[in-house]
Amino acid sequence: MARPRVFVSRQIFPEALEMISSVADVDLWESEMPPPRDVLLKRVRGVDGLLCLLTDKVDSELMDTAGPQLKVVSQIAVGFDNIDVPEATSRGIPVGNTPDVLTHTTADAAWALMMAAARRITEGERAVRAGQWRTWHPLHFLGQDIYGATLGVIGMGRIGIEVAKRARGFEMQVLYDDVYRREDLEAELGYRYVDQDTLLAESDFVTLHTVLDDSTHHLIGEVELAKMKPTAVLVNASRGPVVDPEALYDALRNGVIGAAALDVTDPEPIPASDPLLTLDNCVIVPHIASASVKTRGEMSRIAAQNLINGLNGERLLTPVNPEVY
């Protein structure tokens, strides 16, 4: 029987590629940059499986172009807002993602961002490298205390919970807002379930861990920023469009909030000319929250296994549309 054909849209860990090549003929996009749309469409034609990234748009056009033999779409990321999942489901195509293995790594990164913004770490480092460290001064680089402060978590899913748990060592109060109430966490860990306005008004740190969909697009805009404390720090390690970037720029520039730290931006990558990059009180890193050696290795392995299971007609390890079964 002919081996299945798959398109893998970027280099992943070699061990994971070997897993896939042992069962399928692999067409690998080797460039560091995403395949342009026309190339992506050309390369998926006739494939049985697709291993994709959050930078690849997987929609009905792509599924049509691939053809009716397409058996599986395996994304190497936990988020999948780039994929038209209902469309895949209607065609009986299972879609996989890589949850769980990246939860702790991403929560650690949210903390790294929060602390960097609160204590002006990247700004201080830039000053040192620019030769501007002239003396110790009682009024230089004053930031915000984390210990004993209030943390507001918007989106108390797997990653939000782990971010909240890390607040314990800092003896912080934790407020959270989510469509689902977690009374177990309230009883066990003392978290307080509040509405978004209360969370914004009372938190010293607001951290975003929602999915991106129509209900969370620009969840944080001018009105919401105005409800926050003038010293507050906003952290976004979810998806860029959850925050309105123009409103964020105005709020940071005019002292409406104290600082922001972003793992994700809108658009991505952020252009070098973006006004947010002119602000000292905005930390921006290039969407690296899950980027540890161990976690990216695990994500590669799970994405590979999901692809293989889909090719074999077996249930994916982590399907996002289990209703196809």
Residues interacting with ligand GLV, by CB under 6 A?
A: 54, 77-79, 102, 290
Q: Nearer to ligand GLV by C-beta: 63 or 264?
A: 264
In this structure, what are the phi and psi dihedrals at residue 158, rounded to the nearest 5 degrees? -55, -45
- Tell me whether residue 209 is one of the annotated catalytic residues: no
Question: Of residues 10, 43, 120, 239, which has the active-site annotation?
Answer: 239
Q: Nearer to ligand GLV by C-beta: 79 or 160?
A: 79
Which residues have a Cβ under 8 Å from the Cβ of 228 and sit 6 or more positions away? Answer: 200, 201, 203, 206, 234, 251, 256, 257
Which amino acid belongs to residue 170?
A: F
Q: Nearer to ligand GLV by C-beta: 6 or 54?
A: 54
Cβ(127)–Cβ(134) under 8 Å? no
> Tokens 């976690």 sit at which residue?
295
In the complex, least distance from residue 108 CB atom to ligand GLV, rounded to whole angstroms: 14
In Å, what is the CA distance from 17 to each residue of 26, 27, 139, 300? 8, 11, 53, 8
In Å, what is the CA distance from 133 to each residue of 116, 124, 165, 260, 283? 18, 9, 36, 24, 20
The Cα 62–Cα 280 span in angstroms is 41
In the complex, least distance from residue 81 CB atom to ligand GLV, rounded to whole angstroms: 9
Question: Of residues 10, 120, 182, 287, which has the active-site annotation?
Answer: 287
Question: Of residues 15, 125, 171, 268, which has the active-site annotation?
Answer: 268
In the complex, least distance from residue 121 CB atom to ligand GLV, rounded to whole angstroms: 22
Q: Nearer to ligand GLV by C-beta: 28 or 211?
A: 211
- Tell me whether residue 287 is one of the annotated catalytic residues: yes
> Tokens 């293989």 sit at which residue?
308
- Tell me whether residue 268 is one of the annotated catalytic residues: yes
Of the candidates 270, 239, 300, the one whose C-alpha atom is nearest the C-alpha of residue 53 is: 300
In the complex, least distance from residue 250 CB atom to ligand GLV, rounded to whole angstroms: 26
In the complex, least distance from residue 149 CB atom to ligand GLV, rounded to whole angstroms: 26
DSSP state of 83: B
In the complex, least distance from residue 143 CB atom to ligand GLV, rounded to whole angstroms: 27
Q: How distant is the alpha carbon of residue 309 from its chain centre?
A: 25
Buried-state track 199-221, b at ≥16 Cβ within 10 A, e below 16: bbebbbbbbbbbebeeebebbbb
In the complex, least distance from residue 98 CB atom to ligand GLV, rounded to whole angstroms: 7
Which residues have a Cβ under 8 Å from the Cβ of 307 and sit 6 or more positions away? Answer: 6, 20, 24, 49, 50, 51, 72, 74, 96
Q: Nearer to ligand GLV by C-beta: 47 or 303?
A: 303
The Cα 262–Cα 220 span in angstroms is 13
Q: Nearer to ligand GLV by C-beta: 24 or 262?
A: 262
Q: Nearer to ligand GLV by C-beta: 102 or 276?
A: 102
Active-site positions read: 239, 268, 287
